[in-house]
Chains A and B, each alone.
Chain A
Amino acid sequence: MRNVMAVAGKEMRAYFHSPIAYLVMTVYTAICGFVFYSSTAFFSLQSMRMEAQGGMGMPPLSINEYIIRPILGGVLTVVLLFLIPLITMRLYAEEKRSGTIELLLTSPLTDMEIILGKFLGALLLFAILEALTFAYFAVLYLYGNPDVKPLIANALGMLLYGGALLALGMWFSTFTKNQIIAGAVGLAAFLLLYLLDWVSAYSQGAVGQVMSYIALTTHFDNFSKGVLQLSDVVYYSSVIILGIFLTARSVEALKGRP
């Protein structure tokens, strides 16, 4: 654990020593801010209209449903497809290019300690992004009263979703010395995994169901609604474990077959 933390700390420091962390955080908060403002403005307009029509005996609009859900499920999941490769592309590619991979692999660390350390370092940076998102949502409490319980499911879902992308992105980073390639492969793969859901629009059979199940964002739907479902948690956890496992296999191959 000590070793995992040492590697994670090193990764975090690397993000904040280089422009990457600041770039990702700036882009992310800018997009987040815009989306947040737009949904809130739209929400106020809708609420006022309802008010003007006398409410028609309907309950007031839910903040969770009309502001938080579209932001998380509709926009940020897609934005992260683009930003996460920026976070993961350097994880192994940079070590390979600069030769520091030799330092890591000849240190008394297991491959898994290195992998988990790197994953954890990247996840910590992602957790900061997530905290920024929820800082926006906290603003809602000044003017309204969103439910807390769905927010917990939102937060857990976003962490799992980010973790799944990070684990896969880390795997892509082991392929090459070139960060740009690692990032591009990640982006292409993520977009494809995201678009897989389209199959279900025309194929109702088993293929459509499987594709839709594999698609990265379908499982986020419940989380963005604030619903915690075991199958979704299992899906993202499995992707994380798969990513870590594939990274381990790839690092093994890096060392050359005996």
Chain B
Amino acid sequence: MIEVDNLTKRYGPTLAVSGVSFSVQKGEILGFLGPNGAGKTTTMRVITGFLPPTEGKVRVAGYDVADEPLEAKRRTGYLPETPPIYPDMTVNEYLAFVARIKGVSRRDIKKRLDEIVEKCAIADVRNRQVGKLSKGYRQRVGLAQALIHNPDVLVLDEPTAGLDPKQIIETRDLIKGLEGQHTVILSTHILPEVSKTCQRVVVINAGQIVAVGTPDELTRRLQGFETVLVTVEGPAAAIIEKFQRVPGVNWVEPRESHESRVTLEVHSEKEKDVRAELARATVESGWKLYELKTSGLSLEEIFLKLTTKDLSEEAAVKAEKAAN
């Protein structure tokens, strides 16, 4: 339904998005994950036809957004980061206006309006001015606006940003309810959002895709090894060296050091339990073992791993220096 092929977007000399390709199947909800400034909004703006691509092709429902913009736009609903509302209009006036410019035929407008205010739970504020609504209501009006012409494709830029926890859950449920009827692409920098609402995730960082897959797949793929966390009291450098020699261990990374104790992350080959060996090595050398546990990667850590590679490497170097 959405095909992004080798998309590159430059703002003058700044490269915002570079060689991004992915596709979204009909009825699928795709999460677009990345830190702020990663290029999520830019990519979405190209998909919705707001910005022209510098290079590459984007097709929405089979229409190229650059060559047949009107056909593509007719099939796209878009909720930008801040809902594009006219504060002086009432909800009814606003939605009727959006319906008209989105090409809903005049006699269907009333019916569509009734349906959509019901669906987005804004029926009780229909006659109030949009500018006077609370943030949660405004966001839902924004969503109603994106859905008013029953588009095949829905592009939502951080739909839950700035909402309170209850509103976040409501909005998520609303989006989840669109699964199957609409193809949805939603961006976020909040992780639970992705695991709760999306079937597939594209992780983007610094304008490039760093990973694609279901939330489960991503967890599994990044965990091509077992990780054990060990806290030991003793000389850090010697401990690392010793652990590195334990059979089955791939590499050892210092996590943190606290007074004389160091916590190490020991990565081993898959399905190989090195815990017993580590314990033996510690005791043999006369160091004190405080903690030994396996660690799985949470989505949070995967995200950090994928998007802050440079930072974590720096941290590791620092920790090593500190240990020495």
Residues of A within 8 A of B (CB): 2-3, 6-7, 9-10, 13-14, 17-18, 98-110, 255-258
Contacts and interface: CB of A to CB of B under 8 A. Distances in A.
Contacts of A3: 100-101
B37 interface: no
Contact of A106 (B54, B73, B85, B100): B73
Dominant secondary structure at the A interface: helix
B88 to A, nearest CB: 4
B87 A258 contact: no
A6 B101 contact: yes
B98 A103 contact: yes
Given A10-B97, A258-B52, A107 B73 contact: yes
B101 A106 contact: no
A14 B101 CA distance: 16
Interface residues of B, number: 34
A14 B51 contact: no
Contacts of A18: 88
Contacts of B81: 99
Nearest 7 A/B pairs, CB to CB: A103-B84, A17-B88, A258-B52, A6-B100, A108-B73, A100-B84, A108-B74
14 contacts: A2-B100, A6-B97, A17-B88, A98-B85, A99-B84, A100-B86, A101-B84, A102-B50, A102-B78, A106-B49, A106-B50, A108-B71, A255-B51, A256-B11
A104 B73 CA distance: 11
A98 B145 contact: no
Interface string B37-56: 00000000100111111100
Interface in B26-41: none
B51 A256 contact: yes
Given A3-B101, A108-B70, A102 B80 contact: yes
B54 A107 contact: no
Given A13-B93, A255-B50, A256-B11, A102 B84 contact: yes
Contacts of B93: 13
B235 interface: no
Contacts of B102: 107-108
Contacts of B87: 98
A9 B96 CA distance: 12
B294 interface: no
B89 A17 contact: yes
Given A6-B100, A100-B84, A103-B98, A13 B89 contact: yes
Contacts of B70: 108-110
B285 interface: no
Contact of A255 (B52, B71, B89, B97): B52
Nearest to B84: A103
A98 B82 CA distance: 8
Contacts of B11: 256
Q: Most A CB atoms within 10 A — which of B66, B84, B88?
A: B84
B103 interface: yes
Given A6-B97, A17-B89, A256-B11, A108 B103 contact: yes
A258 B50 CA distance: 11
B263 interface: no
B231 interface: no
Interface string B136-165: 000000000100000000000000000000
